[in-house]
Amino acid sequence: MVQAAYANNPVSEMPASQFKAYGITKYLGTGGYDNASAGVHNWLPKFGAVYLIDDKTVIRGGWGMYADTLNAANDRPNRTGFNQATATPITNDSGLTFCCGVGDAAGLAAGKTPMNDPFPVRPASGNTRFDEPFRTSLDGVARYNSNFDTVQWYHQPALQHRWRIGVQREIARNLMVDVSYNGAYSYIPVLERINYLPQQYWTTGMVRNQANDNYLNTNFPNPFNIKNLAALQASDPTLYRYMSGTGFFTGSNMSRQAMLRKYPQYGNLREFGRPGEGSRTGYMTYKDLELLVERRMTRGFQTSFMYTYAASRVADWMANEFDPAPTERPNNNVMPHRIAWTAVYETPFGKGRTYVKDGPMSYVVGNWNLSWVLQLQSGPATGDWGNRFFYGDQSQLESMFKHDEMRSTDYLKWFDPSIAWRGTGAPPSSFVGFEGRSAAQPGSYHVRMFPIRLDALRNDGIQNLDLKIERLFPILPERGLQARFSVDLLNAFNHTNFSGPNLDPTSGNFGRVTSQRGLSRVIQFNLRVDF
């Protein structure tokens, strides 16, 4: 019926013989599908080795495979068809008459109001009080015109190879140094649009093509309109009733771009890997060099210092919905540089310690502790950039941003905003920068022209120091009774870590930071009694 209706008003690019209204979803427990997937079995071997060079030096290495799981707690079943609201009109004439056995407004009385029987028996609806859920009677039509993500029947979760080799050396009785190389390669499931608009309909080049957008959004008679499905009224009255109250089937029009897609009856239909590809279509690479220096608790002092230099790339997003594979970009879950320094210092004064164990001074200088956590970290690559026109060589971006120069005059100016063209007409051939005019940006159906993340410029990182000052009060130490009072200074120096800059070249704030990331200084007081 739908294909016959389309044949009466086909779009020129899609002959009636090629228009297919097929592809349905199934409810669990129907059609032989009793499980959400076929399940997966992974062989996950691991190998490790340790070699003792001497009594102070050890070499450790290992390799292993790890896999994600199909965790039932990560998903919720779709309830389309199994939840149904009942809306009974109370009045259709602004209160002159009421439903529910009341009748004329003059008949309102105590015990006789619409609230006494808000869901009356409805003769026109088969003497029912409530609208019953459709349940599985909707069959494959239940998800029509909806956006949803799905997994393949043979879906495979992420799989990772991970390796490490390190040398550990004790350089003093209480001091250890560990240097290691760590790496990983992951196979990642990536959501890809199944009903993508084929590439030949998308605009290319460095000029907005509004005519193509208008052309693709041109409306045609909706072949799924309920008028074309009248035969269902007799063959499947329940399904027909559902369609009669659903906008997708009562709408008169459907756009050209929707009809040119595979499975035109759905919205944004995505799957982890398109059919026939397998689900692990993306990947992630990771490597780091790590230095760890650790001093065990000795004479009241313990500390740990770690520096990590890391690099990672990930292919986990589709630059264009029609692309055959995910596009690689910087991995913003990994920062190039990170320093973490933690320490605990117990002063040697007070009861149970080395000095000033008794006397009045022990109550002043005794049993104080100090600890801290210092974090210094690079920021993530700037993103997510929209689809933008950039004129000239993108390799010049790092020098064009002038990050240090801009911040020396205005600490909120992250990069030079003048690299956006806002003049009239086409920019001169010598101009290198972004298109800054709203009306000249890429249209809705323009291929991706600019990366989503830029390593050439990074957001603000992390500079944070958390302090803890603690005083112990040994009340009855022989009986284990003592109190602890402490002050936590989170972000002790009240340093502001900024959010990313505005990345919209059409905005007046282009290049500026307009918000902070994280909290200002927080002070906490704590009292604890141990007994």
Q: What is the mean pLDDT of the chain?
A: 92
Q: What is the pLDDT of residues 317-340, one digit of tens each?
A: 999 999 999 999 999 999 999 999
Buried b (16+ CB within 10 A) or exposed e, 100-113: bebeeeeeeeeeee
By CB atoms closer than 10 A (0-12, 13-18, 19+), residue 72 is exposed
More confident residue, 485 or 361: 485
Contact (CB, 8 A) for 219 and 196:
no
Distances (CA, A) of 85 to 132, 136, 236: 8, 17, 21
For tokens 């949803």, name the residue.
Answer: 148
Higher-pLDDT residue of 326, 98 = 326
So what's the pLDDT on residue 175? Answer: 96
User: Does 452 have pLDDT greater than 90?
Assistant: yes
Nearest residue to 448 via CA among 328, 270, 281, 323: 323
Q: How confident is the model at residue 73, as a pLDDT?
A: 64
Gap between the Cα atoms of 150 and 135, Å rounded: 20
Q: What is the pTM of this model?
A: 0.85
157 neighbors 151 (Cβ within 8 angstroms): no
pLDDT over 70 percentage in the chain: 99
pLDDT band at 159; cut points 50, 70, 90: very high
Q: 46 pairs with which residues across the strands?
A: 64
Per DSSP, 427 falls in state: P
- pLDDT on residue 82: 87
Residue pair 520/490 in contact (Cβ under 8 Å)? The answer is no
Kindly tell me if the per-residue pLDDT of 70 is higher than 80: no
Contact 45, 64 (CB under 8 A): yes
Percent of the chain past pLDDT 90, that is, above it, reads: 69
pLDDT at 140: 83
Closest CA to 138 of 88, 83, 193: 83
CA distances from 259 to 119, 203, 253, 446, 516 (A): 42, 18, 11, 18, 45
- Nearest residue to 504 via CA among 451, 418, 436: 436
Which pLDDT belongs to residue 465? 98
What's the Cα-to-Cα distance from 364 to each of 350, 351, 367, rounded to whole Å?
A: 9, 12, 9
CA distances (Å), 107 to each of 120, 121, 201, 356, in order?
17, 19, 65, 92
Give the C-alpha separation, 408 to 412, whole Å: 10
CA proximity to 281, closest of 202, 190, 204: 190
- Residue-wise pLDDT for 102-117, tens only, equals 888 888 888 888 888 8
Q: What is the CA radius of gyration of the chain?
A: 33
Residues 6 or more apart in contact with residue 526 via CB below 8 angstroms: 484, 485, 486, 487, 488
Q: How far apart are alpha carbons 251 and 144 in whole angstroms? A: 13
Coil vs helix vs strand at 531? coil
Q: What is the largest CA-CA distance in the chain?
A: 102
Q: What is the pLDDT of residues 224-252, one digit of tens each?
A: 999 999 999 999 998 998 898 889 999 99
Strand, coil or helix: 32: coil
Q: Please tell me the distance from the alpha carbon of residue 437 to that of residue 503, in angstroms, as a whole number.
A: 14
DSSP state of 35: S
Per-residue CA distances from 474 to 299, 367, 393 (Å): 19, 9, 69
Count of other CB atoms within 10 angstroms of residue 26 = 13
Could you give the CA distance from residue 2 to residue 70 in angstroms, rounded to a whole number?
37
**Helix/strand/coil (H, E, C) string of 327-380?**
EEEECCCCCCEEEEEEEEEECCECCCCCECCCCCCHHHHCCEEEEEEEEEECCC
Tokens 């992420």 correspond to what residue? Answer: 158
Kindly tell me the burial class for residue 46, based on how many C-beta atoms sit within 10 Å of its own C-beta (0-12, 13-18, 19 or more). exposed
